[in-house]
Amino acid sequence: MNSKTSPLGTRASYGLAALTGFLYFLGFPGVDLWPISFFGLVPLVIALRGQTPRRAAGLGWMSGFVMTMTGFYWLLNMLKVFSGFPTALCLIFMVILCAYQGGRIALCGYLYGRAEARGWPATPVFALAFVASELIYPLLFPWYYGASVHNAPLFLQVADLGGPYLVGLVLVAANLAIAEVIKVWLDLRAQAAAAPAEGANRPATPTLLDALRPHRAVLITCIAIPVLAAIYGFIRLRAVDATAATAEPIKVGIVQPNLALFDRKDALRIHQRRTQELKEQGAELVVWSEAAIPRMHREKGYEIAVQREITGKLGVPSIVGTLLHSPGASRAEPGRTYNTAIIADEKGKVLGRFDKHYLLAFGEYLPFGETFPKLYEWSPNSGRMNRGTSLDPLRWNGHQISAMICYEDILPDFVNQLVGHGDPDLLVNLTNDAWFGDSTEPWIHLALAKLRSVEHHRYMVRATNSGVSAIIDPVGRVIAHGGTFREETVFGEARFMRSTTVYNVVRDVPWYLATLAIVLMAVVSRRRKASAPAASTPPTTA
């Protein structure tokens, strides 16, 4: 609806925007007060109404900055570990990074402000602007509002239709319904305040229910969306569980070594000992974490070296993380280094590899480092890795296993490509989140990864160095997991499953169309219906 009252002033609107940022943090994984996600955006929606595009962008940025400074507090420790810079300088970098990350909500606010000013209805405008900002704004650390309900599988199941964006829109709809009621109530208060104090000229003030009648379509739609999502979730939970019950099971073991970042001399011994424990428990496949064995193997002939030094002594099929290197042609060339997942059979024979595609800035490469090599001298702890090129799955015993390394499991489009290319019957993620300390980050990472299992209805095995190692079922439930920053193993049952979902077929095409729609609304004014001419009154005679 278009606002009947003046927009809120600077102090009130920015205060509400900051409140949304804090509520976003409270409802997000880590703190996990997930019901807040059904109303946490309401203060921002109220603050945005009637604002200029510039002010709307500023309000969005305020929300985004607060939510990232609170929710990503662990960035400070990460920057200290990666860069080796002093704490004060790392804090400055953190503020800059969070200011940039907050630009996602600023983009949402700007698109909303532009489209509302051009006469488009505010409720669908906000929904479209929100999904567009999640889709196209480039983030160093991606996150999605839909992950807020990772512990409520009932609302998570629509991910197989539209990925994290559709889950987020279900939550946005609930927020818009509440905001609509509040906006109408605020309009009633403004009308009452502007009316004459008393006398015959004072108009009758309608009740809230009367005032809401013109907004019934918006309210019914926004309430129906989460209700229908819950019904769909109930149906899909039963259907997918029934399919999983008939799928081929496999006993999986995960080694979580809890190794220090830069002192990993006991890595191989710990992994071998823990793998033997899992083998004795009946594990048919053991998964190690990202770069579990930090030894650099030469890429040429690595299969023989890996079997001789690592996998040949395990006696159980394994997926291990390590590093491969090809030296440069001369001393002036750094060569090529890959963060790699390798699969081997029970005799240790290497069957295949997957190289990480999406490298972590500051940890595995420095932005602009290849253009300005001096940056690597200033940041000695930053890696200098190369990106993988193949999407082929790891093949073992008639099965196809798609591997993801580090935060690749939180990238919906990338995993969509993996699944579309390799048609795997199991997903595996190898991760090392030790860089972020014993914070909420490992739990946030796990929550975001759950969406990939739901989107493709496949089991996922997550092996991490310091937590959270877990086995996730195809509806996003964690059926076995460990803790954080302790050496341990995780043992449980996964199942080999394949499923074709709507999201896997259509991918993000609907969301790009939604983005195109909001961009057009931001530049093209809405045509308003011409008001009917007043009826002519015939002349009267005296």
Residues 479-503: pLDDT tens digits?
A: 999 999 999 999 999 999 999 999 9
The answer as to CATH 3.60.110.10 being correct for domain 248-496 is yes
Question: Which contiguous run of DSSP H or E holds residue 204?
Answer: none
pLDDT over 70 for what percent of the chain?
90
Residue 205, pLDDT > 60, answer yes
Q: What is the pTM of this model?
A: 0.91
472 or 187, higher pLDDT: 472
The CA–CA distances, whole Å, from 21 to 16, 70, 72, 78, 249 equal 9, 8, 12, 22, 43
Q: Which of 360-369, 399-408, 462-471, 531-540 has the lowest mean pLDDT?
A: 531-540
pLDDT of residue 199: 57
User: Which amino acid, residue 63?
Assistant: S
The CA–CA distances, whole Å, from 364 to 323, 359, 374, 380, 532 equal 12, 6, 16, 11, 65
Start-end ranges of CATH 3.60.110.10 in the chain? 248-496
The CA–CA distances, whole Å, from 45 to 1, 63, 112, 208, 346 equal 12, 11, 10, 19, 57
Helix (H, G, I), strand (E, B), or coil: what is residue 284? Answer: coil
**How many whole angstroms separate alpha carbon 317 and alpha carbon 345?**
4
Residue 190, pLDDT > 50, answer yes
Residue 246, pLDDT > 60, answer yes
The CA–CA distances, whole Å, from 100 to 63, 92, 212, 215, 220 equal 12, 12, 39, 36, 36
**How many whole angstroms separate alpha carbon 186 and alpha carbon 212?**
12
Band of the pLDDT at 5, cuts 50, 70, 90? low
Mean pLDDT of the chain: 91
Q: Which of 10-14, 18-22, 333-337, 514-518 has the lowest mean pLDDT?
A: 333-337
**How many whole angstroms separate alpha carbon 392 and alpha carbon 515?**
31
pLDDT digits (tens, 9 = 90+) for 88-136: 999 999 999 999 999 999 999 999 999 999 999 999 999 999 999 999 9
**How many whole angstroms separate alpha carbon 485 and alpha carbon 494?**
24
Q: Which of 196-200, 248-252, 391-395, 504-508 has the lowest mean pLDDT?
A: 196-200
pLDDT digits (tens, 9 = 90+) for 127-153: 999 999 999 999 988 999 999 999 999
Count the Cβ atoms, other than its own, within 10 Å of residue 399.
15
Band of the pLDDT at 206, cuts 50, 70, 90? confident
Helix (H, G, I), strand (E, B), or coil: what is residue 343? Answer: strand
**Beta carbons within 8 Å of 298's beta carbon, 6+ residues apart:** 305, 324, 325, 326, 327
pLDDT of residue 296: 87
How do 350-355 and 478-481 pair as beta strands?
Answer: unpaired
